Amino acid sequence: MKRNLLAASIALSVITLVGCSEKEPELTTPIQQASYGIGLNMGQSLLQDGLDDIDTQALALGMEDALSGTEARVEEADLMAAFAELQTRAEERATNLNTETLEANTAFLAENAEREGVITTESGLQYEVIESGAADGAQPQASDVVSVHYEGKLTDGTVFDSSLSRGEPVDLPVGGVIPGWVEALQMMRVGDKWKVTVPSDLAYGAGSPSPIIPANSILVFEMELLGIQQDEE
């Protein structure tokens, strides 16, 4: 793990130092609030990286030595070796978490597929019809731009995006969205409203566009196709 992790980790000691003092500092001035915010953000980042067992006393000591200009108590080579060990441990945790997530995804999709009205396509995409438009309604092609109202959730019900809450549908290119949407939109007709369950490999996979969406997440959308406008290109 690179040396700069130490700088990031030190910010967490702000919280530690608060806990060690006889009286909690006030958080009224911009400097106090900004200092608290730095510590809070870095602490949350460390937790997300799986570093939930940081030795806060050693962390506070490192902070104190850095601010006072005291010579480091641990040799550079030992620090680098320690960071490397943390990196290895973090990678192992990430691998285990990904395995657990993928196993949970398999179970969720299998159970969801058994629900009445759910259709599973060859790719693994699952959908169910909530409302149907006209039987002869237009269907988008990959080159089209469509107008859609939608709400996206994680499997635990957490809403991560919603045009409904914003009160305005979105116009988007069919070929420029996640694979699960590309497939679903080309099966829908104008006026259709579907609930679409997108497996992680048809969504963002191991990546994520937002901290709200964990890696390998299944995404569940309620989406309504409002209209099609031919892409002029």
Q: How far apart are CA 148 and CA 172, in angstroms?
A: 8
Strand boundaries in the chain, DSSP class E: 119-120, 126-131, 145-153, 159-162, 170-173, 193-198, 219-229
Which is the catalytic residue, given 10, 161, 192, 228? 161
Which is the catalytic residue, given 38, 65, 160, 201? 160
φ and ψ of 62, to 5 deg: -65, -40
For helices 30-48 and 13-20, give the axis angle rounded to 10 degrees: 120
Phi/psi region, residue 108 (left: phi>0; alpha: psi -120 to 50; beta: rest), is alpha
Residue of 118, 127, 122 lying closest to 192 (CA atoms):
127
- Angle CA 191–223–217, to nearest 5: 160
Which is the catalytic residue, given 150, 192, 218, 228? 150
Assigned token pair, 52: 């939930």
Does the active-site annotation cover 119? no
Does the active-site annotation cover 108? no
Residue 224, Cα to own-chain centre: how many angstroms?
A: 24
Which is the catalytic residue, given 127, 192, 204, 218? 204
Which is the catalytic residue, given 15, 38, 54, 178? 178
Does the active-site annotation cover 36? no
Q: How far apart are CA 189 and CA 185, in angstroms?
A: 8
Does the active-site annotation cover 127? no
Which is the catalytic residue, given 192, 218, 221, 228? 221
Q: How far apart are CA 162 and CA 159, in angstroms?
A: 7
Q: Name the residues annotated as catalytic.
A: 150, 160-161, 178, 204, 221
